[in-house]
Amino acid sequence: MDKSIISGVSILILKELSDERGAVLHMMRNDSPGFRQFGECYFSEVLPGAVKAWKLHSLQTQNLAVPLGRLKIVLCDKRVSSDSYGRIEILEMGRPDKYFRLLIPPGICYGFKCVSTEKTLIVNCSDLPHTPGESLTYPKDSIEIPYSWTENI
């Protein structure tokens, strides 16, 4: 496990078993570090250059991995009581060298951008199913988050 500069965020290196036929990509088991419970699992496709931002969950814990392509993901700690409040962290996720699970606790705002030349696939295995009103969505150029997707390519 690598350290994040944001309190409560975990970067967990994932196993990849490859041979001449392809690869098996591990993501999470019920005995994995940080696993709480199963809520839902879904995949999101991100086209080259596209930005999907910003999302802030009040209850859900996100577990993200990028099995196909490459993303830049930006995190912002919006928890006033956190020792890392207001801190921004920028990570790259994807294969072949940055295949990991990113555990994002509630109160951390996040967004991502496809930095691949082909579409990227991100998987999220959250601990709670989607519930309307549980999360906030901000536009990608929101003044609530001190980060610019156009200035920081």
pLDDT digits (tens, 9 = 90+) for 118-140: 999 999 999 999 999 999 999 99
Give the Cα separation of 150 and 141 in Å (integer): 9
Q: How confident is the model at residue 83 (pLDDT cuts 50, 70, 90)?
A: very high
CATH 3.40.640.10 fits 2-137, yes or no: no
Q: Which two tokens stand for residue 28?
A: 């999470």
Distance between alpha carbon 89 and the CA centroid of its chain, in Å?
11
Residue found under tokens 């994995």: 32
Q: Where are the domains of the chain?
A: 2-137
pLDDT for position 102: 98
CB contact at 8 A, 126 and 39:
yes
Q: What percent of the chain has pLDDT over 90?
A: 93
Report CA Rg, the chain.
15
37-76 residue pLDDT tens: 999 999 999 999 999 999 999 999 999 999 999 999 999 9
Q: Which two tokens stand for residue 60?
A: 């859900």
CB atoms within 10 A of CB 146: 9
Phi and psi based region of residue 127 (left: phi greater than 0; alpha: psi -120 to 50; beta: remaining): alpha
Distance between alpha carbon 144 and the CA centroid of its chain, in Å?
19
CB contact at 8 A, 69 and 116:
yes
Q: Concatenated DSSP letters for 9-27?
A: -EEEE--EEEETTEEEE--
**Mean pLDDT estimate for the chain:** 95
pLDDT for position 150: 86
DSSP-assigned letter for residue 4: P
pLDDT surpassing 60 at residue 145 = yes
pLDDT for position 153: 57
pLDDT for position 1: 62
